Amino acid sequence: MDPFLGEPMDDGHLDHGGVHPVADVGPADGLPGHPADTESSAADHLWVHTDDRVWDLGPADVDTDADGVKDSLTRPGPDGLTVYTDTDHDGQVDKITEVDKDGGFSSKTLDKESGLWSPTSRGRLE
């Protein structure tokens, strides 16, 4: 089961938008949705820990808080898109926002001490 989209996976890997377990691939350069980027390294990638696995999401490509540091990336899915954000710049995703194709959204944040995700906001984009 896809830990991010909640859908069955074809071959045990996340296929939606180039998300792969770190143990199975190196840097995301050259993967679908990730053009080769000579200025990116695995150290620049965002990652999520779930179900005893670490998932390499690829390099951040958006600065969502205007501090000059790219901290987020967006991945499309069959029902909308998901924005993964590293708010404290340590590489670990600590905020996930999902936007469905009908304009509804929900966000959750990670409590790094407990490892649990808590809902933070929900609504509709107008």
Per-residue tokens: 7? 């859908």
Q: Is position 2 within any domain?
A: no
Q: Is position 1 within any domain?
A: no
pLDDT at 80 over 50: yes
| d(C-alpha 15, C-alpha 89), whole Å | 26
Whole-number pLDDT of residue 52: 84
Q: Is position 13 within any domain?
A: no
Query: Strand 45-50 to strand 53-59: parallel, antiparallel, or no bridges (unpaired)?
Result: antiparallel
In this prediction the pTM is: 0.68
Beta strands in 1-124 (DSSP E): 20-21, 45-50, 53-59, 72-77, 80-85, 95-100, 104-111, 116-124
Q: Is position 81 within any domain?
A: yes
Range of the domain at 54: 20-124
86-98 tens-digit pLDDT: 999 999 999 999 9
Q: Is position 6 within any domain?
A: no
Q: Is position 93 within any domain?
A: yes
Q: What proportion of the chain, given as a percentage, has pLDDT over 90?
A: 56
Q: Is position 9 within any domain?
A: no
Q: How many structural domains compose the chain?
A: 1
